[in-house]
Amino acid sequence: MNYLYYLYIQFLAKYHLPEAIGMITFPLLPFIIVAVVLIVMVIFLVLLERKVLAIFTQRKGPNRVGPWGLFQTIADAIKLLIKENITPVGAEKFMFTLAPLLAFIPVMAIWGLIPFSAEFDFISYSVGALLFMTIASIPILAILLAGYASNNKYSLLGSMRSVAQAISYELPFVFVLVAVVVLASSMNLGQIVLAQTSVYPFCGWFIFPSFLGFLIVFICALAELNRCPFDLPEAESELVSGYNTEYSGMRFAFFFLAEYAMMFIMCAFIATLFLGGYLSPFGFYLSTKIFGNGHLGQILVYFEQVFWIFLKTFFLIFCMMWVRATLPRLKSNQLMGFAWKVLLPASLLNLLFVCLYKYFLFAK
Amino acid sequence: MIKKITKSFEYIVALVLGHLTVLKHIFKKPVTLEYPEKKAVLNENFRGEHALVTDSGGNLLCTACGTCQRVCPSFGTIEIEKDKNESGKFYPKNYSIDLNKCIFCGNCVNYCPFGAIVMTKEYELSNQKKSSLILDINTLKSNYSDSIIEKKEK
Amino acid sequence: MPNSNQLMKINIGPQHPSTHGVLRLVLELDGEFIRSCEPIIGYLHRGMEKMAENRTYLQYLPTVDRVDYLSGFFYASAFCDAVEYLAQIEVNKSVKYIRVLTMEMNRLASHLLWLGTFMLDLGATTPLFYCFRDREVILSLFESLTGQRLMYNYYTFGGVKHAIPSDWLDKTAEFVNSMPSKIQDYENIITKNPIFVSRTKGIGVITKKSALQYSITGPNLRASGVNLDYRKQKPYLIYNELEFDSITAENGDSFDRYKVRVEEMRVCLKIISQCVDWLKSNQGEVVSAIKQPLLKVPAGEYISNVEAPRGLCSCYLKSDGTNMPYRVKWRTGSYYAVQILPKLLEDNLYPDLMAIFGSLDVILPEVDR
């Protein structure tokens, strides 16, 4: 951050603007960038999901609205905006309105924690990983609020089932996170990424010592996001109703968009933990090879690192859509049984294995 | 215990195989037909809109015998008004098919003794008024001449 | 929260997001368990049997396809069989082969649609598109043969309406060669999938005794262990000259019903290739010679049976010597499957409703007629 701040001050000095302006506006830049990128990313992801699911079934996705269907999400958003916002009789007005916001806002807060490159590490806390898990649990509260505030006993049942599912699948996630922290000797997300550098191209990535952990985290992320095969709370033909039955218009859109934003940030988190974050799989950066080690090369390295983390995130998003296309839904008792009887012991096993690996590797 | 482990191993193999089977469909061409820019190729027997056949002199082959009325499953679809022309031959003064009631079964085409009615390949028949779906004799004649022109173009 | 003494009555209305047609189920739930179920039918009643009393035989024949629109050839075959028996019309062998060929292709199309919608109910969305892609090929073959994709009106008394196009048999043979790998694809995605297996094994068991008591027929019965296939027990048309197996399974749960239908798809392919080979080497006249619009059928009554994809289909025809039937009655397989549904749903969880109902392969037009 310091290097960019220095460049920014020099840029301002060229136009004879005082340094105080730089000091005030510079911290705002990350927020603006995050907000813009988040919204663009969510719009893009909704379309991407439909296109990817179509490719898996030998079809073309939406391609009428705009070239390659790029404006499809905007058309959907406009449709949802012009619908009436119905609040059911007897619902708790304050909580009813609060729930969709509570589902969407924590996701924006988490974006700052992930290191997108060595310089774009906006909020660098020493307990970054733990803070991520904490803030990522707030949307679960939003689901509970939505179900309770709807004044509809089926919504309440649906939301309680969804909350039970989300809580049960957080435990294996946290245990695998502990294993990663053991491997990296730090909870700071930037440090976790740096601990994955190695002499050979990608041997240092944490996916290799704890492949089982990677699978467990992937499955738990699917369950946290209420995606197939864990989307029982959202299914129409299964349940009588879900937690978002009484929502219409823009409030429904918030839940919907929050799911996609959360999907992106979860995949970015998994990429940071296991796939080496912003590190290049080649060991060197193409920018330095092409542009040399000067000014331009240094700045381009940061953007190239952003490119690498985005590539890994989109690969994981593709895998999530691939799983959605293939598997049927799990039943409610199977969901809970799978989390407690299979994933939790497996995550503890993974922790044991990682501790042994670290001990024997570093005891020399 | 061993059985459980082998069973779970089998399940994992099945899951991976299922995923790979779905993945290989990415590399196949999409089967979408982009209607209305591209239309499906229809075959000769296709049962679309009706047309009354005229011979080279422009006269209808239909003699208003009423067989098509007698084999049509829905009552009141075909209405014929018979008349005799100068040379003593019967011809239909008015012939109308009500597409609101027609089920496009093709019985009228199959059982006509003179081959005087055919079904063309026209299937885009939606309209905004029910009355425009009642085909009268002039529409049926022009359907036939349109279909002849289309055949010649091909 | 619901009291466990009180039962919640919910209505799964005639319109649902799943694709089973207009069936209304009134369920009484106790928490997650279904305590009782009452199916209410009749939303698709069209008066198919009453229509026959006012129409001549030739006028009634096109409407017979619509009793079950997914397997139109079977119902047309049952009706034509009954009329041909009473009017003593001879049908030559080529006609019988072409009828069996089209019926088996229709069975394949119907099972493909069942598989796609069953998977959609359980939550997997891709097998639906794969099944429809394969079904498209069958429907375009039917379109080049008969003129329509779903309401064929191809059979008539004494034969069929027009001759087979010249390259149709080659295209059918090509299709038959490409299908086995696709059925293997479906098996790879579905059969050993642990989620699917645990959702359908042991769910909705129809015992042998209750299947016979409720007059269940077709794949539902054969999955419970009773080897009753009308193509083998009372061969009609030329089924006695073809080589094929009738598939049974032991347990009678949803997984077995799925297994039986997928194997039946393979049996269909075998029969189709035998028929195509015979038709290629024997050119016979298939177009019917009977052209009189007011065909008079001598008085009498007859029941003709065919093995439709959803069970036994019987057509009872009573004629009184005029050119209009006196009474036509249809006995269809799905009606009895809806009858056994309340018994199967008792004391099962609510999410099992779709796993059970989807595996029974119920089509509402057949139930309501």
User: Helix A128-136 vs helix A93-110: angle between axes, to the nearest 10 degrees?
Assistant: 150
d(CA B123, CA B40): 11
What does the pLDDT look like over C105-126, one tens digit per residue?
999 999 999 999 998 888 888 8
Mutation target among B4, B6, B11 for the C interface, most CBs of C within 10 A: B11
| pLDDT for the residue numbered C78 | 92
Verify whether the Cβ–Cβ distance A59 to B28 is below 8 Å: no
What letter would DSSP give residue C250? S
Give the pLDDT score at B56.
79
Query: Is A240 an 8 Å CB contact of chain C?
Result: yes
**CA closest to A330 among chain C residues:** C195
Burial class (CB in 10 A: 0-12, 13-18, 19+), B95: buried
Dig out the tokens for A267 from the structure. 């995949």
pLDDT in tens, C184-241: 988 888 888 888 888 888 888 988 999 899 999 889 999 998 888 888 888 888 888 8
C153/B111 touch (CB, cutoff 8 Å), yes or no: no
For A102, what's the count of Cα atoms within 13 Å in the CB-facing half-sphere? 16
B25 — pLDDT class (breaks 50, 70, 90): confident
Indicate the pTM of the whole model.
Answer: 0.89
Q: Which chains touch C (3 or more CB pairs under 8 A)?
A: A, B
Q: Is C136 an interface residue toward A (CB < 8 Å)?
A: no
Residue range C130-186, pLDDT digits in tens: 999 999 999 999 999 888 888 888 988 888 888 888 888 899 999 999 999 999 988
Residues above pLDDT 70, as percent of chain A: 94
The gap between the terminal CA atoms of chain B, to the nearest Å, is 71
Q: Is residue C61 part of a domain?
A: yes
| C231 assigned to some structural domain | yes
CA distance A191 to A184: 7
> Which residue has better confidence, A245 or A323?
A323
Size of interface A-C (CB pairs under 8 A): 71
CA distance B121 to chain A (A): 27
Mutation target vs C (from A232, A327, A330, A336; most C CBs, 10 A cutoff): A327
Q: Each residue of A184-208: b (16+ CB within 10 Å) or e?
A: bebbbbbbbbbbbeeeeebebbbbe
CB contact under 8 A, C293 and B111: yes
Residue of C nearest to A52 (CA): C126
Q: Which class for C295: exposed (0-12), middle (13-18), buried (19 or more C-beta within 10 A)?
A: middle
**Which element (helix H / strand E) includes C27?**
strand C24-30
To the nearest whole angstrom, how far is the Cα of B80 from the nearest Cα of chain C? 17
With CB atoms and an 8 Å threshold, state whether A59 touches B19. Answer: no
* pLDDT, position C303: 93
The CATH number for C309's domain is: 1.10.645.10
String of DSSP letters for C30-91: ETTEEEEEEEE--TT---HHHHGGGS-HHHHHHHHGGGSGGGHHHHHHHHHHHHHHHTT---
Q: Which residue of B has its CA nearest to A58?
A: B30
C55 touches chain B (CB under 8 A): yes
* Residues of chain A with C-beta less than 8 angstroms from the C-beta of C199: 328, 330-331, 334
Tracing tokens 């905004």 back to the chain, one arrives at: B128
Split at pLDDT 50, 70, 90, the class of C260 is: very high
Do B80 and B69 meet the contact criterion of CB atoms below 8 Å apart? Answer: yes
Cβ atoms of C113 and C70 within 8 Å: the answer is: yes
Q: Confirm whether C64 is domain-assigned.
A: yes
**Interchain pair B32, A60: CB under 8 A:** yes
Query: Does the beta carbon of B110 lie under 8 angstroms from any beta carbon of chain C?
Result: yes
- φ and ψ of B96, to 5 deg: -135, 140
Residue C242 · residue C274 · CB < 8 Å: yes
Mean pLDDT of chain C: 87
- Lowest-pLDDT range of B109-123, C6-20, C66-80: C6-20
Closest A-chain CA to C15: A237
pLDDT at C296 over 80: yes
A322 vs B: CB within 8 A: yes
* Minimal C-alpha gap between C289 and chain B (Å): 11
Chain C residues touching B106 at Cβ < 8 A: 62, 147, 153, 161
- The per-residue pLDDT of chain B, averaged, comes to 85
At C4, the pLDDT band (50, 70, 90 cuts) reads: low
The torsion defined by the Cα of B85, B91, B92 and B97, in degrees rounded to 10, comes to: -160
Exposed e or buried b per residue across C15-41, where buried means at least 16 C-beta atoms within 10 angstroms of its C-beta = ebebebbbbbbebebbeebbeebebeb
Interchain CB distance below 8 Å, C125 and A231: no
Distance from C-alpha of C295 to C-alpha of C158, rounded to nearest angstrom: 12
Give the model confidence (pLDDT) of C128-140 as tens digits: 999 999 999 999 9
User: Given this model, what pLDDT does residue C42 score?
Assistant: 87
Q: Nearest to residue A20, comparing CAs of A34, A31, A8?
A: A8
Give the pLDDT mean for B62-75.
Answer: 87
Residue C144: list chain B partners with CB under 8 A: 43, 45
Q: Residue A237: what pLDDT?
A: 46
Rounded Cα distance, B69 and B80, in Å: 8
Q: In the prediction, which pLDDT does A95 show?
A: 83
Range of C255's domain?
44-368
In A, residues 24-63, which contact C (CB 8 Å cutoff)?
53, 56-59
Report yes or no: A237 at the B interface, CB cutoff 8 Å.
Answer: no
Please check whether residue C248 is in contact with residue C225, taking contact to mean a CB–CB distance below 8 angstroms. yes
Of A58, A60, A327, which has the smallest distance from its Cβ to B28's Cβ? A58
C205: exposed, middle or buried (C-beta count within 10 Å: 0-12, 13-18, 19+)? Answer: middle
Contact yes or no for A146/A308 (Cβ under 8 A): no
The answer on pLDDT for A363 being more than 70 is no
Highest average pLDDT, of A147-156, A202-211, C233-242, comes from C233-242
Per-residue pLDDT at A342 exceeds 60: yes
* A1: pLDDT strictly greater than 70: no
Does residue A238 register a pLDDT over 70?
no
A236/C199 CB distance under 8 A: no
C33 in a structural domain: no
Chain A contact for C197, CB < 8 A? Answer: no
- Spatial CB neighbours of C87, under 8 Å, sequence gap ≥ 6: C157, C295, C297, C298
- Mean pLDDT of chain A, nearest integer: 83
Most confident region among A71-85, A90-104, C195-209 by mean pLDDT:
C195-209
Name the pLDDT band for A241 (thresholds 50, 70, 90). Answer: low
Instruction: Give me the number of domains chain C comprises.
Output: 1
Q: Rounded CA gap, A344 and A348, in Å?
A: 6
Mutate: best of A57, A215, A219, partner B, most B CBs <10 A: A57
Predicted ipTM? 0.86
Q: Does the CA dihedral C169-C171-C177-C182 come out positive or negative? A: negative
Give residue A137's pLDDT.
Answer: 87
| Residues from chain C contacting residue A57 (CB–CB below 8 Å) | 125-126, 129-130, 133
CA-CA distance, B115 to B118, in Å (whole number)? 7
